[in-house]
């Protein structure tokens, strides 16, 4: 059972390291801290004491929610591997970026994965450097 906890903690630490671009030492520290927390809290969930069981459930729930919040706070366009994290759709007046695939409900256009060139265009639009019609 502790092996399952270890792999759970390892995947958690690897996701955080990839998302926040952490060095290996920090990643190992997060791994061991989360592994220890999972082992202790999982042990509490099997206790005969109702108070310890509730502490175990609350602690594990806090770890899961905290992990999701930490990963959710990241607003990156690309993963470290270079894969696009977001998609975009161009409309007549703007370029929308979203975290999902599919089609834009307003225009019906399909979302496409971001590329570095599109990110540059989006940044230029936000700065006010928009294309103008040549007369």
**Which of the four pLDDT bands, split at 50, 70 and 90, describes residue 131?**
low
Give SS3 for 49: coil
Distance set, CA 135 to CA 58, 94, 125, 132 (Å)? 65, 22, 21, 9
pLDDT in tens, 97-122: 777 677 777 778 888 888 888 778 77
pLDDT in tens, 52-110: 999 999 999 998 888 777 766 666 666 666 667 677 787 777 777 777 677 777 778 88
Residue 88 pairs with which residues in a beta bridge? 97, 112
Q: Does 51 score more than 90 pLDDT?
A: yes
Mean pLDDT throughout 6-33?
75
């Amino acid at each position: 059972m502790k092996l399952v906890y270890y792999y759970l903690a390892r995947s958690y630490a690897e996701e955080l390291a990839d998302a926040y671009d952490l060095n290996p030492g920090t990643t190992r520290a997060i791994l061991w801290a989360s592994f220890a927390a999972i082992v202790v809290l999982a042990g509490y969930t099997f206790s005969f004491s109702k108070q310890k069981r509730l502490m175990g459930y609350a602690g594990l729930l806090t770890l899961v929610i905290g992990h999701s919040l930490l990963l959710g706070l990241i607003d990156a366009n690309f993963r470290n591997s270079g894969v696009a994290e977001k998609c975009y759709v161009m409309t007549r007046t703007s370029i929308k970026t979203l975290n999902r695939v599919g089609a834009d409900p307003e225009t019906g256009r399909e979302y496409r994965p971001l590329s570095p060139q599109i990110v540059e265009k989006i940044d230029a639009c936000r700065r006010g450097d928009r294309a103008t019609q040549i007369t």
